[in-house]
Amino acid sequence: MKLSHTLIVVVFLGGFVGCTATTPMLGPSPPHPSEVSSIRVVPITPAEGAPYDISDRVASIVSSYAFSEQGWTPSKGRVLAPLYRLDFIKGPKTVAVYWLGTNSHPPEFPCYSLCSGWWVGSSTAAGALDSTRYKGLTSSTYLYLLRDLERP
């Protein structure tokens, strides 16, 4: 009986480490909250609804850990499928573009459904998804971010 408990703990810890083990790298430098007057949330598919703008929660969103330089991971060929494009806007100008998706941890060993799949990606200079890196979001980060990104 004791061996089976030990085995369960080892499998759980292996899954946990597999979900959290990353090779950290720096991400893009986010704009200062004063450089962003609104955020346009653009669903990638029409099933997610029409684009909308947020202007009352900008500082909270821009200063979120989700967009900080720390905690980014090389994608190592993983295909990232974004659900939303987030345009950080100041007046008529887009100052930064980020992408938000849910498939950063595939539903396979060791993660299955134990790991948060929400992620943020940055953009290339042309505004396309930079598929070389992403930031997997912890529950505490993505729950607040999704709340702040809700349609007004």
Mean pLDDT for back-to-back runs of 10 residues, the chain (152 residues)? 43 44 80 97 91 96 96 87 95 96 63 68 94 88 93 90
Domain ranges of the chain: 2-148
- Residue 146: predicted pLDDT: 93
Q: How would DSSP label each residue in 31-49?
A: PPGGG-SEEEEEESSGGG-
- Residue 110: predicted pLDDT: 54
Please report the beta strands in the chain, taking only residues with DSSP state E, as ranges in sequence order. 38-43, 52-54, 73-74, 82-90, 93-101, 119-121, 133-136
- Residue 11: predicted pLDDT: 38
- Residue 108: predicted pLDDT: 53
- Residue 122: predicted pLDDT: 96
Amino acid code (one letter) for 98: Y
- Residue 111: predicted pLDDT: 55
- Residue 8: predicted pLDDT: 44
